[in-house]
């Protein structure tokens, strides 16, 4: 299949074949997202360690017979994937570059929900030249939070303009127990990953200054939503998203932070965990992670809750002010966890956009514009993932937890 070129927009995407290869069947693979693809794609192939395990998972999701099942092996995948197919990685983030490399080699498109790593960005540049679409950060966080951010920033620009003397942007998301336990958390994914993330410095803007917090939990603050208190702290590096979200150069940022949300009382409940993480001793941290997983697992009887809050407060020198915030608060049920639904459904929507030829070749994140974000959010609302919008928000709560 020759590569077609569009002289005004670069290499045109390889036409989608209609086949989707969904690789991995972990806790983020929900019946909502996978079911949408079974409805929309011409063919869905579910890959797992064994075909039998894939079939069992498909049946557990209520989708028996809706997709083909295969045993995951590199040779089998290489032999099966064709140009224009979509390769979806639901494996750990470390596996994404390998699968993206395979996809580019086969001139197949690629999708995942994880953050863009250096390895993914490098491969995506190669993909762009091959007409391959790479969709990343298309789940919950990152994903739905991007949609909300684009929508808020566009509304504020229309109301206030591209010059403002004080801007506060906050984005917090967390998967928490619907009924808080004494630990204020239950593990539904690799506990070591949770603890390792705490050991990673967080960069953000606070009180008009760029700051790097070596121990993110030390920056924990109270965040009040709908009369309920939560605890929030900065996570990862927020700074690249100033450009990704299209923040005008004329906006003076007082606050810009993307972070994690937890139940009130979390910092106190985790004090012993922080002591271990601070040592940096990997053997001790892994041992603690194993112990915590055994003590605080998510069982079939437990219900998870996801809370996502994105807010923007813009004040212009002339006195004009615009405030707005989105809040999404969802509790899982016996058919599907909130996390699985909120990760797999937006991802599946992004894949349908790929199948329709609506995304350009190269690197894409969930909705790169306000218009595209509006389209995604309208779909999610109709699918039951309805967020509420308020045109006034309190100033960032600065009380430390």
For residue 78, give the 3-state DSSP assignment: helix
Chain centroid, CA 36 distance in Å:
18
**Of the ranges 78-92, 186-200, 220-234, which one carries the lowest mean pLDDT score?**
186-200
CB contact at 8 A, 194 and 187: yes
Chain centroid, CA 70 distance in Å:
27
Active site residues: 141
Its sign, for the CA torsion 151, 155, 160, 163, is: positive
Q: Which of 73, 117, 72, 124 is nearest to 103 (CA)?
A: 124
Q: DSSP for 264-318?
A: TTHHHHTHHHHHHHHH--HHHHHHHHHHHHHHSBPPTT--EEEEEEEEEEEE-TT
Residue 88: pLDDT over 80: yes
Q: Indicate the burial class of 227 (C-beta count within 10 angstroms; 0-12, 13-18, 19 or more).
A: exposed
In this structure, which long-range contacts are made by residues 209-212, counting pairs with CB atoms below 8 Å and at least 24 apart in sequence?
A: 210/239
Strand 86-89, strand 19-23: pairing: parallel
Residue 318: pLDDT over 90: no
* Distance (Å, whole) CA 296 – CA 335: 22
Residue 8: pLDDT over 50: no
pLDDT given at position 317: 85
CB contact at 8 A, 347 and 138: yes
> Which residues, at least 6 apart from 156, have a Cβ–Cβ distance to it below 8 Å?
312, 314, 322, 324
Element (H, E) at 329: strand 321-331
Average pLDDT over residues 159-172: 96
**Average pLDDT over all residues of the chain:** 92
Confidence of residue 188 (pLDDT cuts 50, 70, 90): confident
pLDDT, tens digit, for every residue of 32-64?
Answer: 999 999 999 999 999 999 999 999 999 999 999
pTM: 0.92
* Distance (Å, whole) CA 183 – CA 103: 42
């Amino acid at each position: 299949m020759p590569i077609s070129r569009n002289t005004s927009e670069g290499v045109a995407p390889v036409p989608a074949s209609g086949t989707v290869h969904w690789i991995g069947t972990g806790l983020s693979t929900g019946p909502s997202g996978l079911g949408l693809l079974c409805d929309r794609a011409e063919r869905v192939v579910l890959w797992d360690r064994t075909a039998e395990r894939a079939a069992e998972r498909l049946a557990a999701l209520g989708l028996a017979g809706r997709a083909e099942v295969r045993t995951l092996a590199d040779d089998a995948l290489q032999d099966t994937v064709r140009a224009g197919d979509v390769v979806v990685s639901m494996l750990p983030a470390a596996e994404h570059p390998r699968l993206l490399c395979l996809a580019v080699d086969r001139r197949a498109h690629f999708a995942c929900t994880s953050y863009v790593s250096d390895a993914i960005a490098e491969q995506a540049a190669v993909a762009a030249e091959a007409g391959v679409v790479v969709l990343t950060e298309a789940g919950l966080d990152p994903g739905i939070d991007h949609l909300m951010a684009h929508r808020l920033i566009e509304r504020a620009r229309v109301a206030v303009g591209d010059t403002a003397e004080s801007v506060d942007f906050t984005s917090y998301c967390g998967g928490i127990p619907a009924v808080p336990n004494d630990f204020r958390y239950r593990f539904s994914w690799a506990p070591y990953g949770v603890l390792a993330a705490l050991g990673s410095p967080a960069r953000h803007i606070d009180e008009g200054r760029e700051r790097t917090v070596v121990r993110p939990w030390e920056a924990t603050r109270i965040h009040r939503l709908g009369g309920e208190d939560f605890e929030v702290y900065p996570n990862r590096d927020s700074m690249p998203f100033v450009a990704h979200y299209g923040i005008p150069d004329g906006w003076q940022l007082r606050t810009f932070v993307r972070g994690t949300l937890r139940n009130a009382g979390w910092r106190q409940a985790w004090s012993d965990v922080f002591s271990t993480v601070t040592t940096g001793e990997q053997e001790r941290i892994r041992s603690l992670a194993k112990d915590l997983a055994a003590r605080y697992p998510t069982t079939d009887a437990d219900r998870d809750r996801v809370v996502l809050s994105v807010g923007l407060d813009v004040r212009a020198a002339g006195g004009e002010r615009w405030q707005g915030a989105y809040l999404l608060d969802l509790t899982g049920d016996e058919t599907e966890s909130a996390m699985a639904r909120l990760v797999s459904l937006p991802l599946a929507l992004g894949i349908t956009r790929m199948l329709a030829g609506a995304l350009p070749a190269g690197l894409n994140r969930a909705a790169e514009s306000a218009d595209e974000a509006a389209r995604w959010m309208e779909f999610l609302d109709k699918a039951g993932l309805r967020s509420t919008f308020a045109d006034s928000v309190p100033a960032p709560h600065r009380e430390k937890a």
